[in-house]
């Protein structure tokens, strides 16, 4: 949930940047990452048999978002990049369990 929250914050901050077009990929990945993180958490809380499958997808999207946010200098992108990297690692652990 931390990752989803920071991704939403990052997308919101990026949308307020002067050159929003340059931040398009970052914003898109932030929104995708937040959505899949919420879904993963929800399915895990339900004890879904598909939770592990979704966690693998979540890890992939989180990793991609981490890389993209890591390209930018703003503090919100740096925080998002770290959260996404951590979430990706945790999702992979969940999928392996």
Quick one: tokens of 92? 């992979």
pLDDT value at residue 20: 87
pLDDT value at residue 96: 87
Domain CATH number, residue 58: 1.20.1270.360
Structure pTM?
A: 0.93
Q: pLDDT per residue over 9-39, tens digit each?
A: 999 999 998 888 889 999 999 999 999 999 9
Pair 89, 55: CB distance under 8 Å: no
Q: Which domain holds residue 7?
A: 2-96
Any residues with CB less than 8 A from the CB of 78 and at least 6 apart, and which? 69, 70, 72
Q: pLDDT per residue over 39-92, tens digit each?
A: 999 999 999 999 999 999 999 999 999 999 999 999 999 999 999 999 999 999
Domain count, the chain: 1
């Amino acid at each position: 949930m931390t990752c989803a929250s920071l991704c939403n914050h990052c997308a919101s901050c990026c949308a307020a940047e002067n050159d929003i077009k340059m931040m398009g990929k970052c914003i898109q990945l932030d929104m995708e990452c937040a959505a899949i993180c919420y879904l993963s958490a929800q399915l895990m809380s339900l004890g879904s048999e598909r939770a592990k499958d979704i966690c693998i997808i979540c890890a992939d999207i989180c990793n991609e978002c981490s890389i993209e946010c890591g390209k930018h200098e703003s503090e919100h992108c740096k925080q998002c990049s770290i959260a996404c990297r951590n979430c990706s690692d945790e999702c992979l652990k969940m999928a392996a369990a």
